[in-house]
Structure 1
Amino acid sequence: MPQASTSQSSAYLTALTIEIEKKLQRALSSPSQRINLLQELFADVALEIDFRAREIILSKDEDEATSSRDEIENCLCFYDVLADHYVRMPENGKPILDLIVQLWSQSFASHIFALLFHKWLFEVPFEASEPEALRYASALVQGATNVFWIDIQTNTRRFFSLFRYLLEDVALVPVHLNKISLQAQRDLCLLLSRFIFFYNLVDKLESFLNQFPTFPNAFLIGGPKDIFVIELTDQLQKLKVEPALLHYLSHMKALQGLELRMATSTRLKACLYSFTSPGGPMYPTRAVRHAAWDTLDLLFPVGQYPRHLISLFFRLLYPWYWPSSCWYFILSCVKAVLYSILRLIFSSWENITKPKNP
């Protein structure tokens, strides 16, 4: 019975591979429809698998199906199973890879390559010239960057499994990381630095920094911690989605205690401070401003009171902000008074109901 289930799953994935190959061939032969076809193929590959197809694909044996479900955390997409399939059966993925190579310069080609062949690149032995290997690694980094930004723009985690693989199974595994060139290793680590907070893998930060490759300009910009914070700072300044920005700011406490160069520390402080004032160039919302203040005070406690006083002084220079500031100040005072009364009532009630010792 397990063998029959395995063959059924393999047949299903082979059929999917044939359909992907057909769409790539159509894109190659139809220049006018190429972008639309590649975009449709990317959407199909990134689509979450429905329950009927999931039963077919995961019905190999009880243990393997259970571990697969645990690993994908109940969110299984087609690229997850196809990436594993091309590692087990590289010959099935070879025609697709050849077609993608012919479409390198097209939009969404690197997206599709990153989703389907991120495991193949590190786990399957293959012979390739140095330019080809560099092209594969560059396409992986470029495609992964694009799909991670799609997650940020939509505030989803559809490509979490791709990020986790690149971090835990590539960046933290020297045997896999050394399969790509040193420049590709640097680009990959910079990419992971920008998105590690977004995908909630802060617990891997210390191990990740210990595996950082060497950079030629490290004597100017500092070590791995400085490079990581610089990339993170640049990422914060590019974020325009409020939930994603709040998510980043909530994880910034992981930077507490890092020994940074003065230039890096100043850069981070200036970035956070730019989110504390309403108006241009960032135009942060009230929630973002408060989160930025909390993060700034946590990471840089020295001088927090002068900073708040200076901020208050500049806020007084803009009278159109006074009504909203006064309104929120009144609301915060009312909430504080209500919470104090409730705490007093509950504490009094506990004292009344507490049994007295004889």
Structure 2
Amino acid sequence: MQMAAAHQRSVYLTALSQEIERKLQKALNSPSQRLQLLQQLFADIALEIDDRAREIILSKDEDKVTDADEITESRLCFYDVMANHFVIKPENGQRILNLIVLLWSQSFASHIFSLLFHKWLFEIPIENPEALLRYGSALVQGATNVFWYAILFYIFFFQHVWQVCLVLGNYVLSLNARRDLFNLLSRFLFFYNFDHLLERFLKHFPIFTNAFLIGGPVDVFVIELTDQVQKVEPVLLHYLSSLRALQGIELRMTTSTRLKACLYSFTSPGGPMYPTRAVRHAAWDSLDLLFPVGQYPRHVISLFFRLLYPWYWPSSCWNFIKVCITTIIHSLLRLLFSSWERITKSTND
């Protein structure tokens, strides 16, 4: 029974490989439709696997598709299983890889390469140094585009690519490619909720030759992070709340000033950032937590500058009244429930 299921799975994945090859070949032969075909292929392999295909792909004794980490069954995409399939059977991915190389300069080619071959690059030996350098650069470029796509649409389907690059990225690529890769990973560690891996991530960070100018791994991480956080509001709120993982970490003076300035830029209404009220409060919370020294003078100075703009007074007063009313209601409800619990407890006794 298990052999039949494994054979069915192998046949299904081979058919998927042939379909990917067919679409790449069609894109290569159709210059006028090339961009559209590659975009459609990228969307297809990034799709989440439906229940019918899941039963074929996942057998009872094989619920993993990677050695780096388990992928939750609620978010299993086609690229996950195909990336693992090309490691187990590299011959099925060789023709696809050759077609991607021919389409190297086209949009979405690097996207597709990073999804399908991010694990193959680290686990299959590549003897040609030039090919390894080219594949490493393509991985960084493709992963950058894929992660930006995730940021824009606020989706988390590509976190497996991030995990594999973190676990295996320090063993195969050249030093420059590892630096570029870890700079990229720094920008999305908080986005994929890997705050608990921060210490481990910094230990694996490659050493920069100009470290005496920019600082150590934690300084490089914060520099990349400050360039990343200025995004759409849901992602920005996500990053601002995750910044608390930096509490207690020692930074260089220039890096600390850069982080403080980045947070402070989100605390004031109006241009050039035009942050919403939720963003301003999240930025204040992170700023006060990471830099407790001087928090009261900062708030006083901010209040003073707010008073210079009378058109903000009505909204500020209204929000203050709403907060007061909400606080009073919550206090009364807590008092009522606590009193009810005491009465119930005394009655039972």
Is the structural similarity TM-score above 0.5? yes
Of residues 320, 326, 329, the one that matches 1:338 is 329
Of residues 211, 216, 236, the one that matches 1:223 is 216
Of residues 238, 244, 257, the one that matches 1:253 is 244
Which amino acid is 1:117 matched to? F
Counterpart-to-counterpart distance in 2, 1:329 and 1:281: 24
Task: Give how far 1:200 is off.
Answer: 0.6
**Equivalent in the alignment of 2:269:** 278
**Equivalent in the alignment of 1:305:** 296
Q: After superposition, what is the alpha-carbon deviation per residue over 1:154-180, rounded to whole angstroms, capped at 9, x for unaligned? A: 11111111112212x214xxxxx2311
> SS where residue 163 of structure 1 aligns?
helix
Task: Give how far 1:127 is off.
Answer: 2.4
TM-score where L is the length of structure 2: 0.95
Aligned 1:1-358 pairs, distance under 5 A = 1-59=1-59, 62-65=60-63, 71-128=71-128, 130-167=129-166, 169-171=167-169, 177-237=170-230, 239=231, 241-355=232-346
Matched length? 347
Q: After superposition, what is the alpha-carbon deviation per residue over 1:178-237, rounded to whole angstroms, capped at 9, x for unaligned? A: 311000000111111100000011111101101111112110110011111111111013
Which amino acid is 1:100 matched to? I
Distance change (3 Å), C-alpha of 1:234 and 1:292: same
Task: Give how far 1:343 is off.
Answer: 2.9
Counterpart-to-counterpart distance in 1, 2:344 and 2:179: 63
> SS where residue 127 of structure 1 aligns?
coil
Counterpart-to-counterpart distance in 2, 1:351 and 1:3: 63
Counterpart-to-counterpart distance in 1, 2:30 and 2:341: 76
Counterpart-to-counterpart distance in 2, 1:76 and 1:66: 10
Task: Give how far 1:339 is off.
Answer: 2.2
Deviates more, 1:221-230 or 1:66-75: 66-75
Counterpart-to-counterpart distance in 2, 1:317 and 1:215: 46
Counterpart-to-counterpart distance in 1, 2:56 and 2:339: 61
Q: State the identity as a percent.
A: 68
Distance change (3 Å), C-alpha of 1:351 and 1:15: closer
Distance change (3 Å), C-alpha of 1:73 and 1:299: farther
Deviates more, 1:333-342 or 1:267-276: 333-342
- Contact 1:72/1:161, CA 8 A, preserved across alignment: no
In structure 2, stretches of 5+ residues that fail to align are none
Deviates more, 1:289-298 or 1:130-139: 130-139
CA RMSD of superposed structures (Å): 1.9
TM-score where L is the length of structure 1: 0.93
> SS where residue 107 of structure 1 aligns?
coil
Counterpart-to-counterpart distance in 1, 2:292 and 2:193: 25
